[in-house]
Amino acid sequence: MGLKQNLHNLKKKYEGTKIAPLFNGFHTFLYMPNETTHGGTHIKSADDLKRTMNTVIMALVPCLIFGMFNAGYQHNLQIEAVSNATGFFSGEFWNMDNLLIGLVKILPLVIVSYVVGLAIEFIFCIIKGHEIEEGYLVTGMLVPLIVPVDLPLWMLAVAVAFGVVIGKEVFGGTGMNILNPALTIRAFLFFAYPTWMSGDKVWVQGAVEAAGTADAISGETILGSLAQSQPLNYSVSDMFFGFIPGSVGETSTLLILVGALFLIFTKIGSWRIMLSAVIGALAMGFIFNQVVDMGWIGETSKFYGLMSLDFWKHLLIGGFAFGAVYMATDPVTASQTNKGKWIYGFLIGFISIMIRVFNPAYPEGVMLAILLMNVFAPTIDHYVVQGNVKRRLKRLKAKTA
């Protein structure tokens, strides 16, 4: 009670000043707002935007922690300091050495993401004189989970600044942006620094000269090897549990699935978008498998590796599962109508696998597919609403005829 009372007294002191939005943001982050509404009818709820964002962050934390273990494990695996993990509870995976290696590399990404992004949010709230917008609470966590672990921090800072200013603030801030901010940041990195975002190498900690390995990188990731028509060297269980190289939060399909169930249970994530995205991806993957089975694509084709991959395995590799659960379901940039969500999600899954197969230079498509459908989401909703209006007008005419 002492802290709460002191914050309440300080709030009165700073009320009306330029830094009031900053203080209010900190105050409401810890406690529910103490303002009360007067007049009219109001719905009482313990939920607000901050709590919604915090719920999404809770769903992301298991992926973050697992990613730290996996970053260290992949490093040790490349220098042959450990053997292949034998299961989700493998002692060689869940050891403190792996965690410390991953923590040292990933924690700075999280810190830079939040410091740069929130600093820009604070500047804009002071300039515009409005309350702090909480949208970056989730974006700040998403960004470190969808970039390569060895991305230079200055590149991340530049990309975050671009994504927050150009991707969100110029449109009016949280709730007004037409593109997912986290994917806008990743798209900037992809086009500005493509060699760092290719995803075709496994990160290895820099100080490994004594082990006789190359500094910083070694080997290829799954999508990189499949794009070169090389055989898949990972078991289904490894891909499902996440014992594979990749971006920090995108490897463990199991934990992403757990996060999806949590978001659906809390009614924050749309199950329609998630399910339709999976259906779309399976449909496109199945079509490609049929093309290979019919002999239309030979083993010498540069598309053969990813086309011949069993269609359902596309769900276990790359960033598809992570994108379908945590970014395609963004309530601001996704379709709003129920029918529109089915169309929106299906096209994301369908286009993701299409881009993944036909772009061997960058064998991942979920980012571009979601950004594309962000642009078309309002159009989809428009035609869904117009279709509903026309059907109701027809029923009205039939009754009055």
Exposure string (b/e) for 239-274, b if CB count within 10 Å is 16 or more? Answer: bbbbbbbbbbbbbbbbbbeebbebbbeeebbbbbbb
Contact status, residue 197 vs residue 189, Cβ threshold 8 Å: yes
pLDDT of residue 397: 84
Measured distance CA(348)–CA(356) in Å, rounded = 12
State the pLDDT at residue 37: 59
For the chain (401 residues), the mean pLDDT of every run of 10, in chain order, is 64 62 60 58 60 88 94 85 75 89 94 93 78 79 91 94 89 82 92 77 57 45 77 86 88 95 93 97 96 86 86 92 95 93 97 88 83 95 94 86 68
Q: What is the pLDDT of residue 301?
A: 83
**Is residue 320 classed exposed, middle or buried when 0-12, 13-18 and 19+ CB atoms within 10 A define those classes?**
buried
pLDDT of residue 150: 86
Three-state SS for 57?
helix
Which tokens sit at 117? 């992004």
Q: How buried is residue 82: exposed, middle or buried, by Cβ count under 10 Å (0-12/13-18/19+)? A: buried
How deeply is 400 buried, as exposed, middle or buried, from its count of CB atoms within 10 A (0-12, 13-18, 19+)?
exposed
H helix count then E strand count, the chain? 16, 2
**Cα 31 to Cα 59: distance, rounded to the nearest angstrom:** 21
Runs of H (alpha helix) within 135-269: 136-145, 153-165, 181-192, 194-197, 222-227, 236-241, 253-265
- pLDDT for res 174: 74
67 residue type, one letter: G
